[in-house]
Amino acid sequence: MKKGLLRFGVAVFIVLASIVVIDLAVGKAMDHMLPQISNQGATGKTYFSLYDVNTPVVIVGSSRASHHYVTQQIEDSIGLPAYNVARDGCFFSHNSCVVNSIIDRYSPKLIIWENCCEYLYEGVEDPLVNLYPYYKTNKWVTTTIKEELPWKEYIRLNSKIYQYNSVLHRILMRYRSRNSHTKETEKGYEPLTPKELIKKLELEPEKLTGTTLSETKVARFDSILTRAQEKGIKMVIVDSPRYFIRDSINISRDKMEEISKKHGMLFIDNTHLPFFMEHSEMFTDPTHMNSNGAEIYSELFLNQIHDYVSTIKN
């Protein structure tokens, strides 16, 4: 029996040791490939937002930002190069890391941060999975993951393969065609083509998912705005239109506004703009506007920030 147990132990050890070796090798290969696909596809866009974007105007946020802010219109209006680094499924904590990493590298003239008014609540969905590849290399990512996720997750993140879980194939495919890469977005803006919906959208009340503020998130938001203020970066914190009737009592939004004002940043809650509440055809779903809606909204938004940004060209 002792012999059998020892033999079993050796077999398990061989498999585990091989996995460790493969893990390191695959991790090294991925670490090498990732920078070379910067701004190619969704995975490359996150790398770009953390390490490569260098325009004076940057738009940060989730899918709502990537679909709602027409970069060209913003460039034309402000008169400075702009880039929309927003990505689907990336919310407050993700974008905190992006903004912090940008501030570390340079001082843009303006950061437009699309921030859902609910983001400062405890328990609001806030995935960090798209930042896993940077767990060991980006201090903001390391800190945020340790603050936000359970111990199990950052134990798992010691595996390089796990850091690249479910994106290995995407990186490989992008890397293979990296030399023939063509631009897929309009400076990061990803228009949603208007289409006829199977079921017409109806204005329905949307319940807030949170009730209490997250102290960690409030502190993080405050700290980012402090850093931006110190570096003379102007920021617009904005929540774009939704096709929902939302609760008017929202302490997360109030807190966001309070912190923004404290640091001299512009806060705009556009969730209930009457024009969009009357035009369901501008939406593809209750939270995303199509390209028609985005163009009208971008124009309206640029008028809203006109005075605030009038000085940044100097």
Partner 1 sequence: MTFQTLEYLIFLPITFILYWTLCRGNKTLQNGLIVIASLIFYGWWDWRFLGLLLLTAFSTFVAGDMMGKTEDPKKRKMISVGAILLNIGILFFFKYFNFFVQAFIDAFSLFGADVEVSTLNILLPVGISFYTFSALSYSIDVYQKKVEPTKDLLAYLAYVMFFPSILSGPISRAQKTLPQYFETRTFNYDMAIAACKAILIGAVMKLCLADRLAIYVNTVYSNIDQHNGTTLFFSSILYTIQIYADFAGYSLMAIGSGKLFGIELPTNFIRPYFAKTVTDFWRRWHISLTTWFRDYIYFPLGGNRCSKARWMLNTMIVFTVSGLWHGAAYTFLIWGAFHGACMVIERQVYGNKIKEISDKFSIANLLRLSLTFLIVNFAWIFFRVNDLNDVMTIFKKIFTEHGELFVDIDTFLLGFLAMAIVFIYDFIKEKDLNIHLLSSKYIVVRYITAILLTFYILAFGVLNGGSFIYFQF
Closer to partner 1 at the Cβ: 197 or 219? 197
CA proximity to 222, closest of 110, 135, 120, 116: 120
Distances in whole angstroms, Cα of residue 13 to Cα of each of 7, 16, 25, 78, 296: 10, 5, 18, 61, 61
Q: What is the DSSP string of 79-135?
A: TS-EEE---TT--HHHHHHHHHHHHHH---SEEEEE--TTTTBTT-----GGGGGGT
Closer to partner 1 at the Cβ: 202 or 278? 202
Alpha helices of the chain — where are they, by DSSP H? 2-33, 41-47, 63-68, 71-78, 92-105, 139-148, 151-156, 160-163, 168-176, 215-230, 251-262, 274-277, 291-309
Closer to partner 1 at the Cβ: 121 or 164? 164
Least gap, CB of 182 to partner 1 (angstroms):
18
Least gap, CB of 155 to partner 1 (angstroms):
6
Beta bridge partners of 113: 60, 237
Cα–Cα distance between 162 and 80 in angstroms, integer? 39
Q: Angle CA(128)–CA(129)–CA(134) in degrees, nearest 5?
A: 85
Beta bridge partners of 111: 58, 235
Least gap, CB of 314 to partner 1 (angstroms):
46
CA 112 from chain center: how many Å?
A: 12
Least gap, CB of 248 to partner 1 (angstroms):
27
Closer to partner 1 at the Cβ: 51 or 91? 91
Closer to partner 1 at the Cβ: 5 or 249? 5
Least gap, CB of 68 to partner 1 (angstroms):
20
Least gap, CB of 198 to partner 1 (angstroms):
6
Cα–Cα distance between 96 and 217 in angstroms, integer? 9
Residues making contact with partner 1 (CB under 8 A): 1, 4-5, 7-8, 11-12, 14-15, 18-19, 22-23, 26, 129, 152-153, 155-156, 159, 161-162, 164-166, 168-169, 197-199, 285
Closer to partner 1 at the Cβ: 173 or 245? 173
Closer to partner 1 at the Cβ: 42 or 312? 42
Least gap, CB of 110 to partner 1 (angstroms):
34
